[in-house]
Amino acid sequence: MPDCPPVEAPFDHGLRRQTVVRAVLTDIFHGNLRAGQRLVTESLANRFNVSHTPIREALIELRGLCVVELLPNRGAVVRKITAQSVREVCQVRKVLECEAIRGAVRKIDRKRVATLATEIRELAASPANPEAVARAQNLDNQLHDAIYAASGNEFLAAELDRLRTLFRTFRDVTWDLELARREYHRIAIEATEHLAITDALLAGDARSAVAAMTIHMRSGQMYWVQVTTNLKNLPSEKETIKHSPQ
């Protein structure tokens, strides 16, 4: 195949939807899309250079993440993201993650946890820079994924897996803000929280594992709530669409 790829390489066949989902999510959290704003399929279609089909499908998935509302025959509107709503998301996440870790204590692979703990310690000891943030994100992913997988509840794992897109986009946006501020303090804080979790897992202590996870969630909540202060999603009060009841 001697021909070089053309100017445009949408190499995401079968992943278009996911791409759109993540892009829209990021846009919302960055404040580019404001609450109450209507998401017109056609605009999004040529914004992302794809056809209606994946856009429509992405909107359905976004509705599953509760960031947009789907009004029958009226399309999608962006839901409000406020400090309150972030707290609500975190509350749900908390009960799910705690349930997951409660089940994972007995089943999780200790060796894997020990490896992760070592890496977390290394990270905490290493210099704080943008590269460290990327490593922190990666370790966070791995730890939580390991817990989901070991929860012993496939439905719960699938549910958390689905919501993961939401959580991680949010988390990454939060880190973006920290990066912009050259603020790396959070790396150490998170490492401490993660180590409390790994310690409890290694000790096989369900009660303290749940406690550690609760602390981790509470900390993340405080952290995430900050994002909303940067969101100017309130000014368009009149743009709110009145929606028919149910």
Residues that bind DNA (CB under 7 A): 10-17, 38-42, 49-54, 56-57, 70-76, 241-242, 244
- Taking the complex as a whole, the smallest distance from the CB of residue 31 to a copy of itself amounts, in Å, to 19
- Taking the complex as a whole, the smallest distance from the CB of residue 103 to DNA amounts, in Å, to 30
Take residue 143 and report the two structure tokens written for it: 């730890």
Within 10 Å of residue 45's Cβ, how many Cβ atoms?
Answer: 17
Compute φ and ψ for 117, nearest 5 degrees.
-60, -40
Contacts of 202-210 with CB under 8 Å at 24 or more apart are 202/110, 202/113, 202/114, 202/117, 204/105, 204/106, 205/105, 206/101, 206/102, 206/105, 206/106, 209/101, 209/102, 209/104, 209/105, 210/98, 210/101, 210/102
With CB under 5 to 8 Å by kind, the binding choice for 162 among a copy of itself, DNA, none is: a copy of itself
68 beta partners: 78
Closer residue to DNA (CB): 9 or 125? 9
With CB under 5 to 8 Å by kind, the binding choice for 41 among DNA, a copy of itself, none is: DNA
* C-alpha 173 chain-centroid distance: 9
Binding site for a copy of itself (CB under 8 A): 13-15, 17, 53, 56-57, 60-61, 64, 66, 72-73, 85, 88-89, 91-92, 95-96, 99, 153-156, 158-159, 162
- Taking the complex as a whole, the smallest distance from the CB of residue 160 to a copy of itself amounts, in Å, to 10
- Taking the complex as a whole, the smallest distance from the CB of residue 73 to DNA amounts, in Å, to 4
Angle 169-124-91 from CA coordinates, rounded to 5°: 40
- Taking the complex as a whole, the smallest distance from the CB of residue 51 to DNA amounts, in Å, to 3
With CB under 5 to 8 Å by kind, the binding choice for 2 among a copy of itself, DNA, none is: none
Q: Are 210 and 98 in contact (CB under 8 A)?
A: yes
Closer residue to DNA (CB): 20 or 197? 20
Which residue type sits at 117?
Answer: A
Closer residue to a copy of itself (CB): 57 or 119? 57
Closer residue to DNA (CB): 61 or 190? 61
Closer residue to DNA (CB): 8 or 127? 8
With CB under 5 to 8 Å by kind, the binding choice for 242 among a copy of itself, DNA, none is: DNA
- Taking the complex as a whole, the smallest distance from the CB of residue 141 to a copy of itself amounts, in Å, to 11
Helix (H, G, I), strand (E, B) or coil at 138: helix
Report d(CA 25, CA 200) in Å as an integer: 33
